[in-house]
Amino acid sequence: MIFARLPATALCLCFAFSIPAKAQNVPPDVVRAVRECLGSNCLKIAVKAAEAIYTQPLSAETQNSQLGVLAAVLFEHARSDNSPRAGRDAARAIESLAAYSTDPIQRQSFLQIAKAIRLGIASELDLELPVAASPS
């Protein structure tokens, strides 16, 4: 229950950059591929998606926002599939996204979420709480 005591803001920060409308520029096929990933290909798909985001001429804020969208999709994937393998694969994919974030708080939040998934407590987390501040 370690993560149940973390402040909601800390857990939500990984998705804080998902709020601006610019974040919705993640191509639907990329979101679909991440949502439907299975097994070890989740990591490959997440890395490919993160690399695709960074090849676009976007601000760091927008890139982080799009990473937040992908992390949210992976998180929901892990919560909806209760198998340990699916959780482990989604956690690895979220950790890989952390390496692409330029925001240290977002990176740390990604790692905390991945750890919660690995511990099997992702279903206890509520990341749909409103975030107090927006970077825009």
38 membership: H or E segment, kind and range = none
Give the 3-state secondary structure of residue 131: coil
In a domain, residue 131? The reply is: no
Q: Would you state the pLDDT for residue 124?
A: 67
Domain that holds residue 59: 9-124
DSSP assignment letter at 102: S
From the CB of residue 48, how many other CB atoms can be counted at a distance below 10 Å? 14
Query: Higher-confidence residue: 41 or 103?
Result: 103
Predicted local distance difference test score (pLDDT) of residue 4: 44
Of residues 12 and 92, the one with the higher pLDDT is 92
Going by C-alpha positions, the residue among 117, 1, 134, 115 that lies closest to residue 68 is 134
Q: Looking at residue 126, what is its pLDDT?
A: 62
pLDDT at 28 over 60: yes
Residue 117 is encoded by which pair of tokens? 């998934």
Among the listed residues 51, 93, 53, the one whose alpha carbon sits nearest the alpha carbon of residue 76:
93
63 within 8 A of 53, measured Cβ to Cβ: yes
Residue 134 located in a structural domain: no
* Rama region for 126: left / alpha / beta (φ>0; ψ in -120 to 50; rest): beta
**pLDDT score at 65:** 92
The total number of structural domains that make up the chain? 1
pLDDT of 63: 92
Residue 60 has pLDDT above 70, yes or no: yes
Residue 52 lies in a domain: yes
Is 105 inside any structural domain? yes
d(CA 55, CA 48): 11
Q: Which range has the top average pLDDT, 3-7, 26-30, 76-80?
A: 76-80
pLDDT tens profile 66-95 = 999 999 989 888 888 777 788 888 999 999
